Chains A and B, each alone.
Chain A
Amino acid sequence: MKFSILVNEGPYTHQASDTAYQFAKAVLAKGHEIFRIFYYHDGVNNATRLTTPPQDDRNIVARWSKLAEEHKLDMVVCVAAAQRRGIVDEGEMKRNGKDATNLAPGFRISGLGQLIEAGIQSDRLVVFGD
């Protein structure tokens, strides 16, 4: 079965991102497919590679990146939500005249249409948030 996941909260403050990650792993372990993981609202903060949690804590961002690499996941950060919250890739940096990028590996920035497409293409879309 084809799943998509919507993550509406950032890392650390709320458990939503942790649960979404555990759910994604379980989906893959069951042999299902993940069509896309979409990050919206403060969920876009899951995609900053500048995060530096203490060594004895989980690295939520790096964990997502690793999962994406291992399973060739499509992880999409909403562009409008990312612009508001300062999540920047190369293209956004140039377009908006910023002096840095911070998008973690495995993520890409795109439009909300990608969320609707995920709803259309997937058998199930599960929302994690606060």
Chain B
Amino acid sequence: MTTKKFMMVNRKAPYGTIYAWEALEVVLIAAAFEQDVSLAFLDDGVYQLKKGQQTKGIEIKGFEKTWGALEDYDVTQLYVARESLEERGLSAEDLTVPVEVLSRADIGKLMEEQDVLLSF
């Protein structure tokens, strides 16, 4: 099968809308299709990776643990925008999985290299 470079561009916070969760489902399927999958987290998307999510009180299924499972699917390219973290008072230590923190401009360059950009 042809392998293409897919990047999922995540810019929305979790739980307030379903986009983050349904985007993660796309990531898992793309990985199952053995595509070259990477994820970019920009703007409120960085909140998706925040450690310590406890969703019992809102009765919505939490998905923090799924990020940790991505490695099993060989999805290891996770890029987070430095500016988006800083604006929100967060740092890489606040995130649930190891990521590469890059400037928005560098993420822009990575986006240019992709075959398919899926934005949620």
Interface string of B29-42 (1 = CB under 8 A from A): 11011010000000
Are B33 and A120 touching (Cβ within 8 A)? yes
Task: Compute how far the CA of A6 lies from the CA of B1 in the bound complex, rounded to whole angstroms.
Answer: 22
Are B6 and A119 touching (Cβ within 8 A)? yes
B118 and chain A: residue at smallest CB distance: A127
Q: Which residues of A contact B6 (CB under 8 A)?
A: 116, 119
Determine if A80 is an interface residue (Cβ-Cβ < 8 Å).
yes
A: interface residue count bin: 10 to 19
Number of A-B contacts (CB under 8 A): 49
A residues 74-130 touching B (CB-CB < 8 Å) = 80-81, 111-113, 115-117, 119-120, 125, 127, 129
13 further A-B contacts with Cβ under 8 Å, apart from A112-B25, A115-B118, A127-B117, are A40-B26, A111-B29, A112-B26, A115-B29, A116-B30, A116-B33, A117-B33, A119-B4, A119-B35, A119-B116, A120-B4, A125-B116, A125-B118
- Among B18, B22, B35, B117, the residue within 8 A (CB) of A120 is B35
B116 and chain A: residue at smallest CB distance: A119
Determine if A8 is an interface residue (Cβ-Cβ < 8 Å).
yes
Task: Compute how far the CA of A129 lies from the CA of B116 in the bound complex, rounded to whole angstroms.
Answer: 16
Q: Which residues of B contact A119 (CB under 8 A)?
A: 4, 6, 30, 35, 115-116, 118
Instruction: Report the minimum CB–CB distance from A12 to chain B (whole Å).
Output: 18
Are B22 and A6 touching (Cβ within 8 A)? no
A42 and chain B: residue at smallest CB distance: B18
